[in-house]
């Protein structure tokens, strides 16, 4: 089971379309919950393998992300993407992993779409599909 928790609803329509497309594609391969919250204050994150997306985190290639997913397939993976204010330090400290999409800065809405595409790419790598090439 994979959860992606994000702060605030996606406002840009073209990004919403992309997010919905990748959510639809991912449903073929895994159980995925996409959750929009107003804030992280009251989140129940017990028994979760928590991965926070943060610019200071580890940079994985697509293949390395695929390996990470494969190794942790039996964990309840919860990925968190913050808003324009980022993620509180206390939440980062709870994380099992800080993961960076890039050293470049993206809007939080673009980060959602980019992450979902990379998640899809990693899963198709693990399935031996041609999408990655």
pLDDT at 88: 87
d(CA 78, CA 107): 20
Q: What is the pLDDT of residues 41-67, one digit of tens each?
A: 777 778 779 999 999 999 999 999 999
pLDDT at 132 over 70: no
Q: How far does CA 70 lie from the centroid of its chain?
A: 15
Residue 32 main-chain phi, psi, to 5 deg: -130, 130
Q: What is the pTM of this model?
A: 0.93
pLDDT at 4: 96
In CATH, which of 3.40.50.2000, 3.40.1280.10, 3.40.50.300, 2.40.110.20 is domain 2-132?
Answer: 3.40.1280.10
pLDDT at 40: 79
Count of helices and strands (H, E) across the chain: 4, 5
**Helix (H/G/I), strand (E/B), else coil: 121:** helix
Q: Is 124 left (phi over 0), alpha (psi -120 to 50) or beta?
A: alpha
3-state secondary structure 6-67: EECCCCCHHHHHHHHHHHHHHHCCCCEEEEEECCCCCCCCCCCEEEEEEEEEEECCHHHHHH
Q: What is the pLDDT of residues 71-92, one digit of tens each?
A: 998 888 999 999 888 888 988 9
What percent of the chain has a predicted confidence (pLDDT) above 90? Answer: 76
């Amino acid at each position: 089971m994979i959860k992606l928790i994000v702060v605030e609803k996606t406002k840009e329509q073209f990004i919403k379309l992309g997010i919905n497309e990748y959510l639809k594609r991912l449903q073929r391969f895994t159980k995925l919950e996409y959750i929009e919250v107003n804030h992280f204050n009251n989140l129940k994150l017990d028994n979760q393998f928590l991965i926070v997306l943060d610019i200071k985190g580890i940079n994985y290639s697509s293949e390395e992300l695929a390996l990470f997913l494969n190794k942790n397939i039996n964990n309840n993976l919860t990925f968190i993407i913050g808003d324009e204010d980022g993620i509180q330090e206390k939440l980062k400290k709870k994380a099992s992993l800080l993961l960076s999409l890039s050293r470049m800065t993206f809007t939080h809405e673009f980060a959602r779409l980019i992450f979902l595409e990379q998640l899809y790419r990693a899963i198709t790598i693990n399935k031996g599909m041609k999408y990655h090439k």
